[in-house]
A and B are shown apart, each in its own frame.
Chain A
Amino acid sequence: MNPAPLTILYFAWLRERAGRSEEQLTPPETVRTIADLITWLSQRSAGHAAAFAHTATIRCAINQEFCDPSAAIKPGDEIAFFPPVTGG
C-alpha cells in the first residue's frame, strides 16, 4: 500500500511565490523532517524555489500546530508554510 500523501498548504507571500495554495504530494522516504521537505520542495519548480529562498522568514505548522523545521513528518500530515504572523 502506498503511503498517504502529505497535504501541503501555502499562505500569504509563500502562496503567491509558489503559485498555489495547496498540493498533495508523496515525498520519498528520505524526507523525514520539515527541513528535509523544504529542501525537496525547493527543487520542484522555480516558484517553489522562490517561495523557500529565505528560510529564516518561513514558519510552519504540522496538523494545525506550530512546529520547528526539525519536526518529524509522517504520511497523511497537513503541513503549512507561511511568513511570521501579522494579525491583530
Chain B
Amino acid sequence: MAKVNVQTQDFDIGAETAALTAGHTNIGGIGCFIGTVRAAPPDQRAITALTLEHYPAMTQRALEKIAAEAERRWSLLGCTVIHRHGRLELGANIVLVIAAAAHRQAALDAASFLIDWLKTKAPFWKQEHFLDGATTWVEAKSTDADAAARWSD
C-alpha cells in the first residue's frame, strides 16, 4: 500500500526514503523523482513563484489510483507520492515520487510511470506569478500527454 500525501508543507527526501525502506532487507533499488519550481529562461518573462491549485475531494484518490496502478505493473516493495499545493517559491519542491523494488529497472520504470501519469491524471493546476505581480495559468503540454501515453491505459 503506497503512502500518498497532499500537503502545503515541504517534504524531506531522506526521511521519506528512510521511512519507505525501514524494516525491509529485500530492497535492491530505489527510483526517485523530485519536481521543483524553476525560473523562466532568460528570453521569457521572469517568474517569481507558482501557486498550485487542486481539487481536494479528488486529489488524494486520484494519486492513490496512480500509485495502485504502479504497484499492479511492477513488484514494488514500497511506493511514496507526495504533492504540495499552495504558493511555492523558485527552487521549492513540488512533488516527490519514490518507488522501491528488488532491482533497479522496476524501481526506475515505476518512478518514471508515476510522474508521467501524475502529470496528466492528477487534478492540479499551476499558476505562474511574474515580477510585476501579474499571473497566468500554465497550459498543459502535449509532450506530457505523449509521455503518459508511452505507458498506455
Contacts and interface: CB of A to CB of B under 8 A. Distances in A.
Interface of A: 9, 11-13, 61, 64-66, 78, 80, 82-88
A85 B121 contact: yes
Task: Give the interface centre of A13, A66, A83, A87 by most chain B CB atoms within 10 Å.
Answer: A87
A12 B53 contact: yes
Contacts of B137: 12-13, 83, 86
By DSSP majority rule, is chain B's interface helix, strand, loop, or mixed?
mixed
7 contacts: A11-B123, A64-B61, A78-B57, A86-B124, A86-B126, A87-B95, A88-B115
Contacts of A80: 55, 58, 123
Contact of A86 (B57, B62, B83, B138): B138
Contact of B125 (A9, A11, A65, A66): A11
Interface size of B as a range? 20 to 34
B87 interface: no
Nearest to A78: B57
B54 interface: yes
A36 B44 CA distance: 40
